[in-house]
Amino acid sequence: MSETAARVKVEERSGEAVVDMSVVLVCWNNKAYLDPCLKSLYEGGLKSSFDVVVVDNGSTDGSQQMLAEKYPQVKLIQNAGNVGLGKASNQGIEATNGRYVLLLNNDTIVNGPALDVLVEYLDAHPEAGAAAGKLLNPDGSFQSGYAPFSTLLEEFLIVTHIGERLWAGYPSHGDSNEIKETGWMSSACLLVRRAALDQVGLLDESYFIYGDEADLQYRLNKAGWKVVFLPNSSIIHFGGRSMDRWKRRKMVYRGKMMFYKKNYGFFKTFLLRAMFFVMSLLKLLVWCVLFFVPSRNDQAKKELRSNLEVMGLCLNLK
């Protein structure tokens, strides 16, 4: 679909003037980060026209009141409970009309120039379906950039921790000072062309969280859209604020297995699930021993529960 056709389609759907960029944020009890994130958006000197929608997944920390008092221009979509990142993001996308959609985590601090770079690149390169830049840690150090799609070798190096022993920071996404066409990038700050979304579809809601952004960009690549890393765009991402490491492990593993099941076929999916099961079993045995060490007992309980949950997913992925 051409950019002009996409604009006409959006205008007909919304009946409103089309902005350059619609910012979609999903919130779940993260008021402490949502407030500074929105402040950075509105006070960051962004030249591109934009609107903002926050999809709240049943927060009980006063996020809604904060939005009403400090950011009345933000559109709020309220869910009764946590419907997942993918579904909530889709709700936000469908409620907006921007030529581009910025998927943005609420635990980020952005700046106008970084986002304008993304808009300007997509304006100048109609073949590009998505663009993103560098994610930085709060201290300014590099956190994440671009990545190829997962392979069984990569997953083996991650799950066995061999990769991190061979290469510092493995499997940290690549950094570069050059523009790169790539497989996928984090959706912590990802600008997607609406015309591309109209073609390949929105986020797959079956992922709930983790894996959905790689799946979307896999479909973009497959449809011929370019996914581009822009080194001169960078924002701060705090990361990992919505759940602890043990809950996150289960959801990350689930996302990886879902991605393989959907995109890589039975054989590779079987091998991945078998690998995760065996490694989780080995970890389980180690933590069974450490359970009886008083100083490690509390952690052992969490590790045992977490690895049992992963093993259950490997046997019954749902």
pLDDT tens-digit map of 113-145: 999 999 999 999 999 999 999 999 999 999 999
Report, as an integer, the average pLDDT of 5-26: 71
In whole angstroms, what is the distance from residue 91 CA to residue 57 CA? 11
List, for residues 45-76, the tens digit of each pLDDT value: 999 999 999 999 999 999 999 999 999 999 99
From the number of C-beta atoms within 10 Å of its C-beta (0-12, 13-18, 19+), residue 183 rates as middle
What the block records as the tokens of 40 is: 């950075």
* Contact criterion met (CB below 8 Å) for 35 and 66: yes
The predicted pLDDT at position 242 comes to: 65
The predicted pLDDT at position 168 comes to: 79
Contacts of 140 (CB under 8 A, 6+ apart): 236
In whole angstroms, what is the distance from residue 224 CA to residue 23 CA? 24
Per DSSP bridges, beta strands 180-181 and 226-237 are antiparallel
From the number of C-beta atoms within 10 Å of its C-beta (0-12, 13-18, 19+), residue 142 rates as middle
In this structure, CATH architecture of domain 3-237: Alpha-Beta Complex (3.90)
What the block records as the tokens of 152 is: 């069984």
pLDDT beyond 50 at 245: yes
- State the average pLDDT for the chain: 93
Report, as an integer, the average pLDDT of 14-43: 93
The predicted pLDDT at position 295 comes to: 93
Closest CA to 178 of 137, 231, 226, 127: 231
The predicted pLDDT at position 174 comes to: 85
Angle (CA) 43 49 64, round 5°? 60
The predicted pLDDT at position 241 comes to: 65
Q: Which amino acid is located at 41 in the chain?
A: L
* Contact criterion met (CB below 8 Å) for 209 and 85: yes
Q: For residue 15, what pLDDT band results from cuts at 50, 70 and 90?
A: low
Buried b (16+ CB within 10 A) or exposed e, 203-228: bbbebbbbbbbbbbbbbbbeeebbbb
Q: Which amino acid is located at 168 in the chain?
A: A
Closest CA to 182 of 231, 211, 222, 147: 147
In whole angstroms, what is the distance from residue 34 CA to residue 41 CA? 11
The predicted pLDDT at position 99 comes to: 98
pLDDT beyond 60 at 1: no
List, for residues 180-237, the tens digit of each pLDDT value: 999 999 999 999 999 999 999 999 999 999 999 999 999 999 999 999 999 999 999 9
pLDDT beyond 70 at 4: no
pLDDT beyond 80 at 169: no
Inter-CA distances, 288 with 244, 267, 291, 304, 315, Å: 21, 31, 5, 7, 21
In whole angstroms, what is the distance from residue 204 CA to residue 211 CA? 9
In whole angstroms, what is the distance from residue 8 CA to residue 17 CA? 10
The predicted pLDDT at position 8 comes to: 40
Q: For residue 318, what pLDDT band results from cuts at 50, 70 and 90?
A: confident
